[in-house]
Structures are given as C-alpha cells and as structure tokens.
Structure 1
Amino acid sequence: MPRTQRNDNFIDKSFTVMADLILKLLPATRKEKIAFAYYRDGMSAQADGEYAEALENYHEALKLEEDDNDRSYILYNIGLIHASNGEHDRALDYYFQSIEINPRMPQTLNNVAVIFHYKGERAEEEGNEEEAEAWFDQAADYWKRAIRNAPNNYIEAQNWMKTTGRSQIDVFF
C-alpha cells in the first residue's frame, strides 16, 4: 500500500491532502507529478525513521526529476539519511552532488562542515593534530559559504570560527 494511503495521524493526512491538491493544480507533466509523489513519500518515510523506504522513494524520484533545484533537495535528503546512519563518506558524496547542482544551499554546506568538523575531532582524539587542523580548516571554509548564504544561521559555527581564529566575518542580525 502506498505511504500516502497509510498515514495515521492528522498532520500526515493534512500534508498529504494539501500536497495532492497542489499537485493537481500545478501545471506539471505526469512525470513531474510522479517524481513529486516519490519525493513526498520519501520525506514521509524519512520522518517516520523508515530510512530504507525513504531511500527507495528518493532514488525513484531522482530517476524522474529533471529540475535541478528539486534534484539538489533529493540528493540533500539522501545525504541526511546516510549521515544519520553514520555513513559520513557516503553522505558527503550526496552532499557534494547537491552542492554541484545548487552551490548556494546553506543547509547542505553546513552539513558538509559538520562532517568535516567531526572528522577533525576524531583526528584530534587520535593525536593527529595536523590532520585535525586540515579537517577544521575545511569545515570553516564550508561554514563560511553557508553563512554567506544564510547570515542569521549557524551561530555556533560562527562563534567556533571566531574563537579558533578561522574567521573575521562579522554578521549583523
């Protein structure tokens, strides 16, 4: 049974009804509508923690979706799932694909920075200071890009960069 037919709670049902209405009213091709349905089902499965099902839906959506902006969001969501499963290198592959299509998507840039920072912390714990610094510098580069696109976001990253001397960016809210 398709996910859209099994939503149990009011919010999921409301979202599904609204998404279906928008889909019917928008001037889109059949292929675009099917791609959106897969994407919507992927988001719903992801929200429920059904990552395998979400990945299946996202990959089906990718096969059909032609709009670059929409493809970047699908790739971003696939990256999120792999990152949440601890598959950081695999997540980075999808994040980089998303960035290649949409280089101004701050949430993707932030997530790359978070993974690089994590890798820096692991290297630091292992006593590899040079490697840790390289990871931290890469994290700072991606956070700077994210902050340029969303200046009021990522306050903790901004503070970290200032305290570590990796940024002199002053952002005014």
Structure 2
Amino acid sequence: MVETTNIHLVCTLDTYITIKDSLQNYYEAMRLEIDPYDRSYILYNIGLIHTSNGEHTKPLEYYFRALERNPFLPQAFNNMDGDSEIAEAWSDQAAEYWKQAIALTPGNYIEAHNWLKITRRFE
C-alpha cells in the first residue's frame, strides 16, 4: 500500500512539474514573440494547459486573449464553456469558422467535420 501511494505521489509531482515547466516555457515564448497571430496560438496553448489541469475559469481568459489576436481560431471557441446559452453561442461561432476552414481545405479537418455533423451544424 505504501509503495503504491509513493508511486502515485511521484506521478502527481511529475505531472505538476511538467505542467509548471510547460507554462513557464509558454510564458517565455509570449515574452519573446511579437507577432500577434503567433501569440494567439501561444495563448491558446496556455489555455489548454489550464483546461487539462481541471481549471474552468482561467482557460477562458487565455482563449479570449487568443481570439483578440486571431478571431479565426475556431478551436478556441470550441473549448470555451460556461452557462449553456453562452456555450451554445460560442459553439455556433466556432461552427461558422470550422465551416470556412473546411471549405478552404476540404479533408484537413476530419474531427471538426464530424463535430459539425454530430451537433447538426453541417449542411
């Protein structure tokens, strides 16, 4: 039992260190990157890290900041949650951008295409 607990603690600590290191690397990238478009992806990835860490509010801040720099980032819309009415509006906006992306490069966005079909947003 003690060995299993120790392994769990080590794995948890490793995960924490990995997340902390990843965030530090992205913060450093934000400090160095000047292109707003590239910064949007850095901000989006920071949001993903916070989402994967089980946070719900903090990722939204980063997704919004990413969208300010790049309004054509449908995956940021897709990852936003909140109350159902707001989430539905963001999902509708994401669907429009995914449709544009699919129209530009058919076959490149299989997951998005499937999501559009499942949510009945694809014509």
TM-score, normalised to structure 1, is 0.51
Q: 2: distance between equivalents of 1:155 and 1:61?
A: 33
Q: Which residue of 2 aligns with 1:72?
A: 40
- 1: distance between equivalents of 2:113 and 2:43? 21
What is the CA–CA distance in structure 2 between the aligned matches of 1:62 and 1:139, rounded to whole Å? 28
What runs of 5+ residues in structure 1 fail to find an aligned partner?
A: 1-48, 117-134, 163-168
Provide, for residues 127-150 of structure 1, a one-character-per-residue CA deviation record: whole Å limited to 9, x for no partner. Answer: xxxxxxxx1111111111111111
Provide runs of 4+ in structure 1 moved above 3 Å: 154-160
- Taking a change above 3 Å as real, the CA distance of residues 101 and 71 of structure 1, as seen in their structure-2 partners, is same
Cα pair 1:147 1:154 within 8 Å, conserved: no
Please list the CA deviations of residues 1-52 of structure 1 after superposition, one character each: whole Å capped at 9, or x if unmatched.
Answer: xxxxxxxxxxxxxxxxxxxxxxxxxxxxxxxxxxxxxxxxxxxxxxxx9211
Shift of 1:71: 0.2
User: Given the alignment of the two structures, is residue 89 of structure 1 paired with residue 37 of structure 2, yes or no?
Assistant: no
The TM-score normalised by the length of structure 2 is 0.69
| 1:136 and 2:104 correspond | no
1:104 alignment partner, SS class: coil
Identity %: 41
Q: 1:89 to 1:154 in 2, by over 3 A?
A: farther
Q: How has the CA–CA distance of structure 1 residues 154 and 111 changed in structure 2, closer, same or farther, with 3 Å as cutoff?
A: farther
Letter in 1 for 2:87: A
Alignment of 1:142-153 (within 5 A): 142-151=90-99, 153=112
1:101 to 51, 69, 74: 69
> Match of 1:88, SS?
coil
Q: Deviations over 1:64-98 (max 9, x none)?
A: 11001110000000000001111111111111100
Greater relative contact order (Cα 8 A, min sep 6): structure 1 or 2?
2
RMSD: 2.2
What residue is the counterpart of 2:24 in the other structure? 56
The aligned length equals: 97
> Which structure has the larger Rg over C-alpha atoms?
1
User: CA–CA distance in 2 between the matches of 1:105 and 1:58?
Assistant: 18
